[in-house]
Amino acid sequence: MAVSDEQLFGAWKTVLQLCKLRPGEFVTLLTSDDVHHQTLRAARLAASDLGGVVTVLTLPAMGAELSMSRDKTAYVGRTALAGNAAAMACLQKSDLVIDLMLLLFSKEQGEILAGGTRMLLAVEPPEVLVRLVPTEDDKRRVLAGARVLGAARTMHVTSAAGTALDCRLGDYPILTEYGFADEPGRWDHWPSGFLATWPNEGTANGRIVIDRGDIIIPFKSYAQAPVTLTVQDGYVRAIEGGFDAEFLRDYMESFRDPEVYAISHVGWGLQPRASWTALGLYDREATLAMDARAYAGNFLFSTGPNTEAGGTRDTPCHIDIPLRGCSVFLDDAPMVLDGAVVPAEQKA
């Protein structure tokens, strides 16, 4: 259903209040050629209504000659901010940056956040935004999970489909996404609702089975038959199966970069209002597939870069794959069992 301007304006006001926007703060809306204009308009009006001093900064789109998809996560880390000192000065002087372009995985994003700027990414279409307006309860659940994940030293993941993955933890920070940026230097993504970390380098080993119905992003497709990934010393060493496996292999090989096979972040979804089925109701170019990444009880793993965690693995290929029906254990304590969140403090 279409979203009215009034409804989207109200959703933005709610989220910006959660971001603790105060009168007189500098707010920069970072946009590009493919921005959703209703989203931009509502965000600008809401920030102004709350007393923000608003600037709209528009940068050219780039990377079309390198990416095989229009999806914003299909070729990451390279942005029009590179070498643009004037634009960087504007963003670094801002109290809050609303990223409608997608700076994720870029070194420029890290530099902006390092100065204390808050940053909120919002690139889903308006109807997804209003359906998944974040709440303080989202933050409570995600931070409850983060406390356990931050103390854990091992993760073990299994599934009836055949997944059996082990890795050690502790060398990298915890990624918490609850939908609003409410602290200096915080980045978040509306909509979201999950947490993750990165395995210690070289410690992820075992097997990951992408079962029928699991989602591969940025393909934004549901697997039609099992795909088995053999993981050894932190890297995917083999991709076996039918058509889906062949498609995935060919896509990853096209980057001609061995780092695309590295295991990146691992974690689980905690958003009960997100839906596994939502992606099947959208045109692929209409959504970033945040429902798939965040629905409660998924096991979300990824491959590729770790620069947003402070690592040095800078590769443009980032693949997110949320799996259904998995069990996730931290130091043998169950966080998810057969696709259902276990700890009471992580439930809605």
Q: What are the residue boundaries of the structural domains of the chain, listed by start? A: 5-131, 136-346
The whole-number pLDDT of residue 176 equals 98
d(CA 4, CA 113): 33
Instruction: Give me the mean pLDDT over the 96-106 stretch.
Output: 90
Give the pLDDT confidence of 181-224 residue by residue, as tens digits.
999 999 999 999 999 999 999 999 999 999 999 999 999 999 99
The whole-number pLDDT of residue 60 equals 86
Higher pLDDT, 68 or 246: 246
Residue 224 φ/ψ, nearest 5 degrees: -100, -10
The whole-number pLDDT of residue 88 equals 96
Give the pLDDT confidence of 139-164 residue by residue, as tens digits.
999 999 999 999 999 999 999 999 99
Topology of domain 5-131, CATH: Rossmann fold (3.40.50)
The whole-number pLDDT of residue 105 equals 73
Peptide bond connecting 191 to the previous residue in cis, omega within 30 degrees of 0: yes
Residue 41 pLDDT exceeds 90: yes
Sheet with 333-337, side-by-side order of all strands: 235-241, 227-232, 205-210, 164-168, 154-159, 326-330, 333-337, 340-341
Residue 312 pLDDT exceeds 90: no
pTM of the model: 0.94
Give the pLDDT confidence of 15-25 residue by residue, as tens digits.
999 999 999 99
The whole-number pLDDT of residue 150 equals 98
- Cα–Cα distances in angstroms (integers) from residue 13 to residues 108, 167, 182, in the given order: 27, 41, 14
The whole-number pLDDT of residue 106 equals 81
Residue 67 pLDDT level (bands cut at 50, 70, 90): low
The whole-number pLDDT of residue 272 equals 97
Residue 68 pLDDT level (bands cut at 50, 70, 90): low
Full DSSP string of 223-241: -SS-EEEEEETTEEEEEEE
The whole-number pLDDT of residue 75 equals 59
Closest by CA position to 48, among listed 15, 25, 14 = 25
The whole-number pLDDT of residue 279 equals 95
- Cα–Cα distances in angstroms (integers) from residue 321 to residues 49, 113, 209, 211, 336, in the given order: 39, 27, 11, 11, 16
Residue with tokens 């998944």: 132
The whole-number pLDDT of residue 63 equals 59
> Residue 165: in which H helix or E strand, if any?
strand 164-168
Tell me what the pLDDT averaged over the chain comes to: 94
d(CA 273, CA 151): 27
Residue 304 pLDDT exceeds 90: yes
d(CA 84, CA 156): 44
d(CA 103, CA 112): 10
User: Do the Cβ atoms of 100 and 37 come closer than 8 Å?
Assistant: no
